């Protein structure tokens, strides 16, 4: 999916970064979220195992449009389109940016 636009979204810890990518087809939006998985509730909601060696994860979800503030529905939270794990926060921030770049350029099909 090539991006029509890319928007960084506000977030609070344990979320490290959130980006919404709009595709060219109407209603096609992806939410790229990078989180610290040590937060037990967030890890359970995202269906991420609490792996102590990879405490950070980037996940990509299909999401609603601007009318619902790019919310990911509960069914979609259990089924990410793409996931990548990291060992530290710096690597997670870099990985988030890389994931956004490859999706926005159309090099990663999700």
How far apart are the C-alpha atoms of 34 and 57, rounded to whole Å? 5
According to the model, what pLDDT value does residue 32 have? 93
pLDDT tens, residue by residue, 12-34: 888 899 999 999 888 888 999 99
pLDDT tens, residue by residue, 65-95: 654 455 665 556 667 899 999 999 999 999 9
Taking the model in full, what pTM does it have? Answer: 0.82
pLDDT confidence bin for 11, thresholds 50/70/90: confident
Yes or no: say if 35 and 15 are a contact pair by the CB < 8 Å rule.
yes
Burial of 37 per CB tally in 10 Å (0-12, 13-18, 19+): buried
């Amino acid at each position: 999916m090539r991006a029509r636009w890319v928007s960084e979204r506000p977030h609070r810890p344990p979320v490290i970064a959130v980006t919404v990518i709009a595709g060219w087809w109407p209603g096609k939006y992806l939410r790229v979220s990078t989180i610290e998985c040590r937060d037990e509730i967030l890890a359970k909601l995202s269906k991420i195992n609490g792996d102590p060696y990879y405490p950070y994860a980037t996940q990509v979800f299909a999401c609603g449009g601007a009318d619902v503030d790019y919310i990911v529905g509960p069914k979609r939270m259990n089924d990410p389109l793409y996931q990548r794990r990291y060992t530290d926060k710096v690597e997670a921030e870099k990985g988030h940016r890389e994931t956004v770049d490859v999706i926005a350029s159309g090099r990663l099909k999700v």
